[in-house]
């Protein structure tokens, strides 16, 4: 049995800079209580890399300076066997009538399929003092001071 | 085009309590440099809930005391439209010869298919001061003090 994802909505970006996830009407019930969380984990499909060549890519050089050749399990390369994107984002507004979850930003294009949303829970998702290789140490932090 | 995941390995648990991810030989190259990270994000397939009934589930009561009815995007319920699991775990040892990534724990059974592994990067994955509903506030933190 193949692991086949269900598309539950799409990333939308307006020309004025608004960003939201438009949940398909039939899945809106799944967003009940989501406004009680400040942040969510969005799993999305990297459609632009869902081709045999990109899915056969196993290692490449991360774009950071001085990065060493890295396997795709040790990088966020979009070209990987399962082209699934993972973004932690902040909820800015929940539009119950429009079935939209407005968010602050996401590294995904307009119309990108979203396959799952999970609430961000510090108890399981936050790691203090995680170690990363030197080439990722200067990445600009998004939600930490 | 359906979003179909690639199985890159499996969770393994020994009777003595060892836990690891066994990467399929053809995908081992993707683990290059993974030992430079202390933690990884493991995406796995919840095979026990990959059935039409579970995938039609959109809301239920989280097991925590006083939890209110919640959509599955606002809970970690395994019964959800895309039955994908998300675990942040600590790497304890990388066995290059055996193609195994040993980890401290994972909320997945022995033989669970793993569909992707991403490195945990504080810059994008760590959120200070995330808000959660009251029923999740007493969850025991795993990697924070």
- From the number of C-beta atoms within 10 Å of its C-beta (0-12, 13-18, 19+), residue A65 rates as exposed
Average pLDDT over residues A104-128: 97
Task: Please tell me if residue B91 touches chain A, with a CB cutoff of 8 Å.
Answer: no
Average predicted confidence (pLDDT) for chain A: 97
B142 interface with A at CB cutoff 8 Å: yes
**A3 touching B, CB under 8 A?**
yes
Average pLDDT of the residues in B44-69:
97
Kindly report the average pLDDT of chain B as a whole number: 97
Mean pLDDT for A102-118 is: 98
pLDDT in the model for residue A1:
72
Is B69 at the interface with chain A, CB within 8 A? yes
Given the structure tokens 């939209």, which residue do they identify? A100
pLDDT for res A145 = 80
Q: Which of A36, A57, A73 to mutate to test the interface with B (most CBs of B within 10 A)?
A: A73
State which H helix or E strand residue A52 sits in. helix A52-55
A and B: number of Cβ contacts within 8 A:
265
Rg of the Cα atoms in chain B: 16
**A4: nearest CB among B2, B69, B86:** B2
Q: Quickly tell me which residue has 């060549």 as its tokens.
A: A53
Q: What's the confidence (pLDDT) of residue B143? A: 97
What pTM was computed for the model? 0.98
Q: How many helices (H) and strands (E) does chain B have?
A: 2, 8
Q: Kindly list the residues from chain A whose CB atom is less than 8 angstroms away from the CB atom of residue B79.
A: none
Query: So what's the ipTM on this one?
Result: 0.97
Q: Which residues pair with B9 in a beta bridge?
A: B23, B114
Using the predicted structure, report yes or no on whether residue B54 has a pLDDT greater than 80. yes
CB contact under 8 A, B86 and A43: yes
* pLDDT at residue number B1: 72
Cα separation, A42 vs A35, in Å, equals 15
- Band the pLDDT of B30: cuts 50, 70, 90: very high
Cα dist from A16 to A12, A13, A19, A42, A109, whole Å = 12, 8, 9, 22, 15
Report pLDDT digits (tens) over A64-107. Answer: 999 999 999 999 999 999 999 999 999 999 999 999 999 999 99
Residue B10 pLDDT > 80, yes or no? yes
Chain A contact for B125 (CB, 8 A cutoff): yes
Rounded Cα gap, residues A50 and B25, in angstroms: 22
Per-residue model confidence as pLDDT tens digits over B83-122: 999 999 999 999 999 999 999 999 999 999 999 999 999 9
């Amino acid at each position: 049995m193949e692991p086949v994802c269900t598309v539950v909505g799409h990333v939308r970006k307006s020309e004025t800079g608004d960003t939201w996830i438009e949940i398909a009407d039939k899945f809106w019930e799944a967003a009940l209580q989501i406004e009680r969380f400040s942040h969510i984990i969005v799993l999305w499909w990297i459609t632009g890399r869902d081709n045999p060549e990109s899915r056969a890519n196993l290692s490449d050089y991360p774009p950071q300076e001085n990065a060493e050749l890295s396997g795709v399990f040790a990088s966020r390369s979009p070209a990987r066997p399962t082209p699934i994107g993972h973004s932690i984002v902040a909820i800015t507004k929940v539009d119950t009538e429009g079935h939209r979850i407005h968010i602050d930003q996401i590294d995904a294009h307009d119309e990108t399929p979203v396959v799952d949303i999970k609430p961000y829970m510090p108890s399981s998702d936050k790691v203090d003092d995680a170690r990363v290789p030197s080439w990722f140490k200067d990445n600009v932090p998004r939600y930490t001071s």
